[in-house]
């Protein structure tokens, strides 16, 4: 009887360790693409539109990639001290939209200009630009 309990306990411990290892592996898996939208505390209509339309594009066209962690979204208020590292890394001073592949911020794709030109007044065109850029980077 003691042997049965010991074996049961051993199986329980082993399955727990296996589950922890699997969870840790998932947590350490990095996104293939990171989408960074930075903004200051005070934002204009264009700034707000960039965030809104970027999220709309991601949630409608890339929902599966968001859910499985292939794409990660980072909305960063540059005025907060806790975000100083990212502000310095990307050298931002206002609203910006970047697509970064494999965490390589040196080779980021800057869609800020397109965001201000299209997100508020031509959102469908902006969706096309964002979606095309993301698809190209996921290849």
* pLDDT single digits (tens) 15-70: 554 444 444 444 445 679 999 999 999 999 999 999 999 999 999 999 999 999 99
pTM of the predicted model, to two decimals?
A: 0.75
Q: Which residues 6+ apart lie within 8 Å of 77 measured at CB?
A: 38, 39, 40, 41, 83
pLDDT digit string, tens, across residues 99-135: 999 988 778 999 999 999 999 999 999 999 999 999 9
pLDDT digit string, tens, across residues 11-27: 544 555 444 444 444 44
């Amino acid at each position: 009887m003691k042997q049965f309990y010991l074996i049961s306990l051993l199986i329980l411990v082993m399955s727990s360790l296996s589950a922890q290892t699997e969870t840790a592996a998932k947590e350490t898996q990095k996104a293939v693409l990171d989408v960074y939208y930075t903004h200051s505390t005070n934002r204009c209509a264009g700034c707000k539109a960039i965030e809104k339309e970027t999220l709309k594009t991601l949630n409608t066209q890339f929902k599966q990639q968001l859910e499985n962690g292939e794409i990660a979204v980072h909305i960063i208020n540059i005025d907060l001290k806790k975000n100083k590292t990212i502000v310095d890394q990307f050298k931002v001073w206002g609203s910006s939209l970047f697509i970064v592949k494999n965490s390589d911020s040196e080779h980021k794709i800057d869609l800020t200009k397109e965001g201000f030109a299209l997100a508020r007044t031509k959102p469908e065109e902006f969706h096309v630009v964002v979606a095309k850029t993301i698809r190209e980077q996921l290849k």
